[in-house]
Amino acid sequence: MAKTKEQKQQIMDKLTDRLKSGKGVVFATFAGVPMAGTEALRKTCREAGIYYTVPKKTLADLALKEAGIEMESVRKIEGNFSVAVADDEVAAAQALAAFAKEYEGFQIVGGVLEKKYIEKSEVVALSKLPNKQELLGKLVGTLQAPISGFARVLQANISGLVRTLHAIKESKA
């Protein structure tokens, strides 16, 4: 069913807003992916807070231009085309790369990072990085390790002193 001009404008506006606010964008094609697989991907994206859509290429081009993203036309991408936008730089890349491993027909074709187009190889490399929460967790662990080591050393010295005093007390009694 053909969409009205107003409906197309709403789709473009929503995509433009997501592209402006999102930090990580991934483009993919999905020839031969069964409907059940596509629905599973949509569910995974929803749960991870990733905006996933299959826009018309002309609307996507307009939205990318309006969002200030520097890249060539998405019309050059052959086949069915989808866009995933996330607030995390690596979340969309990780979700779509994992899905691409399951379905042969699903191919990552590129993405956007910091308002600039990146190639497929860069998106795949990005998908292998830990996400922001994992990095923060590792940072906290790294910062905490010396402090907890210092506390254990102090505790060992104090408990050693207590054992020594207890042994002296026992020997005099």
| 15-48 pLDDT per residue, tens | 889 989 888 899 999 888 888 888 999 999 999 8
pLDDT of residue 1: 58
- Condensed to tens digits (0 to 9), the pLDDT of residues 79-118 reads 888 999 998 888 899 999 999 998 888 899 999 988 888 9
Cα-based distances in Å from 49 to 22, 46, 83, 98, 158: 11, 5, 14, 16, 50
For the segment 69-73, the average pLDDT, to the nearest whole number, is 81
- Condensed to tens digits (0 to 9), the pLDDT of residues 126-166 reads 888 877 777 778 778 777 777 777 777 777 777 777 788 88
pLDDT of residue 129: 83
pTM over 0.75: no
Does 5-129 carry CATH code 3.10.310.30?
no
End-to-end CA distance of the chain: 97
